[in-house]
Amino acid sequence: MKSALRALRFALFLGFVLTIVPTVIGCGHKAMWRTFPAQGELVTITPMQAYVQGRRMYVRVTVINRSNEPITIIRDAVRIVLPDARVIGRSTGSTSTHAPYTVMSGGAQAVYVDFLAEGFNWNDMGLANVDFSQAILIRGAMINVEPVRIER
């Protein structure tokens, strides 16, 4: 009987530890970053949110097409440039949708991308630039757009 009671107490304690400790140490916590809009000759990129959760940086923007023609947004071509000039490509996964977006003249499109930290920690970075320069096309040609600046 005593061993059964001890096992029950241990199971309750273990359940408590496995439930509470990850919350206390910040697992699953979103570390928000400040964002700054970017202008291009033919598009505006308005950031909605940037945050780190675990090893991933999530960036959500709205791309507004100010041109007289449709634009194509290729999310797999979005990159993030770190302060030490390392370039990180968009994360890929088996459930990610990677089809390009087409945005008509005057239209807008929400674009969500994420980047996986490999060999570094996002918390060690003070800033980064999200580079859309190869990701937004008109008639198959890249257009000039400044990066979206993000800061901790």
Tell me: pLDDT of 92 over 80.
no
Half-sphere exposure of 97 (CA within 13 A, CB side): 6
What does the pLDDT read at residue 91? 87
Closest CA to 65 of 35, 99, 103, 95: 103
45 - beta bridge partners? 38, 63
Predicted pLDDT at 98 = 79
What are the residue boundaries of the structural domains of the chain, listed by start? Answer: 31-151
More confident residue, 9 or 140: 140
Per-residue pLDDT, 93: 65
Amino acid at site 31: A
Query: Measured between alpha carbons, how far is residue 41 from residues 25, 59, 72, 75, 123 in Å?
Result: 45, 22, 15, 20, 33
From the options 2.40.50.140, 2.60.40.1180, 2.60.40.4170, 3.40.50.12780, give the CATH code of 31-151. Answer: 2.60.40.4170
The per-residue pLDDT for range 17-68, each reduced to its tens digit, is 444 444 344 456 899 999 999 998 899 999 999 999 999 999 999 999 999 9
What sign has the CA pseudo-torsion 78, 74, 28, 38?
positive
pLDDT, tens only, 104-138: 999 999 999 999 999 999 989 889 999 999 999 99
Handedness of CA 13, 18, 20, 24 (dihedral sign): positive
Q: What are phi and psi of 97, to 5 degrees?
A: -95, 120
- pLDDT above 70 for 12: no
**What tens digit of pLDDT does each residue of 59-71 get?**
999 999 999 999 9
For position 9, what pLDDT does the model report?
54
pLDDT at site 114: 95
Compute CA distances 34 → 1, 79, 93, 99, 148, whole Å: 58, 18, 26, 28, 10
Instruction: Return d(Cα 101, Cα 110) in angstroms, integer.
Output: 10
Mean pLDDT of 142-152: 95
Look at residue 70 in the predicted model and tell me its pLDDT.
98
